[in-house]
Amino acid sequence: MTSEEPAAPAPPATPGTLTDEAFRDLYRSLRQQAAEAAGRGRGALDRLTPERVAAAAAGVRSGRTVSLAAPVETATAPDSPEPATHRMTAPDRRERDEPGLHFARDRFAMNVHGDVDSHLDALCHVIFDGELYGGVPASTVTPDGAGALTLDLVRDGLVGRGVLLDIPRLRGVPWLDPGDQVTAEDLAAAEAAQAVRAGPGDLLLVRVGHRLRRRDLGAWDVTRARAGLHPRAMRFLAERQVSVLGSDGNSDAAPSAVASVPFPVHVLAVNAMGLHLLDWLDLEELATACEERGRRDFLCVVAPLRLPAATGSPVNPIAVL
């Protein structure tokens, strides 16, 4: 740890750890629920029907657009030891000085599933006990790319009703401290306090205040401590039948509530329930805009890259208010 890096505070009392047996019971229950509702092999996206997309579009009032992505990080930081790289490939000095037509060109590369840049997790991203979502064998993921449940499932984008649940606002704090865990009771209380209710097909966004804390106090090692959802909170999402879960963290808290599973929410959301995840968003401007208009739902548009065999993509989701 450098002298500039803020010390991660001791985690608060958690809403309870889960034994491996209890976690697997929860996993089997949520997986069974998802299997009973399975449609065309697209996981929870089957709930995001054209009728629900049209209804979300009809809810646009001001036409204001808000980016939900953080700027891509290209500098090394405690939460980004291998940052994205961006370099110019043209013009060279001769091209800059010569008359006539020349082009500026650049190259970009990133670790899609890092701990700082906003990205989407495809259904082939999470392997648990040798399987992907729906029992698809993990052997379908090869060095040449994934062969099933890939980013190609969302080639036409994720467009629907977004719902923001602001947990720090509910608790009267600027952010949740690293290690804190959001419960199903928190999510239900946020719905009641913020006059909104998530429903079938929605893109549910849960703010924990990660980006605000990072801006105010600096980056820290999020592998050791970060705020997120408690695994049992996933029952709330199953009851509401949402299609997508997003957060300004990565939805998983650290330390994990399950000693044997470092990312239990990823396992439950992606592998058991077939939910696409939006990780490391920036929800600060959206939270302010929702507060100003007294409404926490909006049209949400997510356009991943066309990478047919990929397990995820950088994204710049847009809220249309």
Q: Which two tokens mark 112? A: 């899609």
Least confident of 12-16, 73-77, 232-236: 12-16
- Tens of pLDDT, residues 62-117: 999 999 999 999 999 999 999 999 999 999 989 999 999 999 999 999 999 999 99
- Tens of pLDDT, residues 273-284: 999 999 999 999
Q: Mean pLDDT over residues 3-32, rounded?
A: 76
Asked if 296 and 289 count as a contact pair (C-beta separation under 8 A), the reply is no
pLDDT at 55: 98
pLDDT at 37: 80
pLDDT at 206: 98
**Calpha distance 200→215 (Å, rounded):** 34
Q: For a pLDDT cut of 70, what percent of the chain falls above it?
A: 96
Q: Mean pLDDT over residues 245-264, rounded?
A: 97
pLDDT at 11 over 70: no
pLDDT at 14: 53
- Mean pLDDT, rounded, of the chain: 94
pLDDT at 191: 98
pLDDT at 312: 98
- How distant, in Å, are the alpha carbons of 84, 179, 182, 208, 214 from that of 7? 25, 13, 22, 18, 12
pLDDT at 39: 72
Cα torsion at 293, 296, 300, 302 (round to 10°)?
120
Asked if 252 and 228 count as a contact pair (C-beta separation under 8 A), the reply is yes
Asked if 227 and 177 count as a contact pair (C-beta separation under 8 A), the reply is yes
- Tens of pLDDT, residues 180-201: 999 999 999 999 999 999 999 9
pLDDT at 10 over 80: no
pLDDT at 15: 75
pLDDT at 2: 43
E strands, 72-132, are: 85-90, 105-109, 119-121
